[in-house]
Copies of this chain bind each other. A is one copy, B any other.
């Protein structure tokens, strides 16, 4: 049985809970409270020297990086398309998520709704991340204008990756009213068999 080292409110950790539930994979949870520094202890750094959750434990091996673990779980399942170009497109959106989406949208949610920090000295950084976050949402909206899902007209881990922080973007102060394609897609993802919410 796999073990998921996670912080429950984290979207990156939610990706793996959602995928494992939808794939019928059994797992146990080891909660790591990042707000209390539990991801920076010597014990946790021995598991992931980068000091981040989630980490998926498979046997006696540890796999950090949410999207790498998502990929591992989805191999040869209905959550990953078969052909190599479509698989590369799934990776394209996973890398887009980690480079252009998460550092902006997830970070503002973390600051605004989870960490309860003083942001008065971060105004310039917040403005930069706000603008970059909306740019990422615009790229998604343009892609979804003519598609139901991100890759190959089927629900895949590309959708799980991007759903994780998009559906809680409002908790970071983002307004999705001007993004009808994204709003339609959010409903489609939440209607998938075996869907569980972030709070579950």
Contacts and interface: CB of A to CB of B under 8 A. Distances in A.
Nearest to A61: B85
A188 to B, nearest CB: 21
A100 B67 contact: no
A87 B71 CA distance: 9
Contacts of A103: 99, 103
B68 A91 contact: yes
A161 to B, nearest CB: 11
Chain A, interface size category, equals 20 to 34
Interface in A54-80: 58, 61, 63-65, 67-69, 71-72, 75
Interface of A: 49-50, 58, 61, 63-65, 67-69, 71-72, 75, 84-85, 87-89, 91-92, 94-96, 98-100, 102-103, 124-125, 138-139, 142-143
Given A50-B100, A63-B92, 19 more contacts: A49-B139, A49-B142, A50-B96, A64-B96, A65-B95, A65-B96, A67-B95, A68-B88, A68-B94, A71-B88, A72-B84, A94-B95, A95-B98, A98-B98, A99-B99, A99-B102, A99-B103, A124-B124, A125-B125
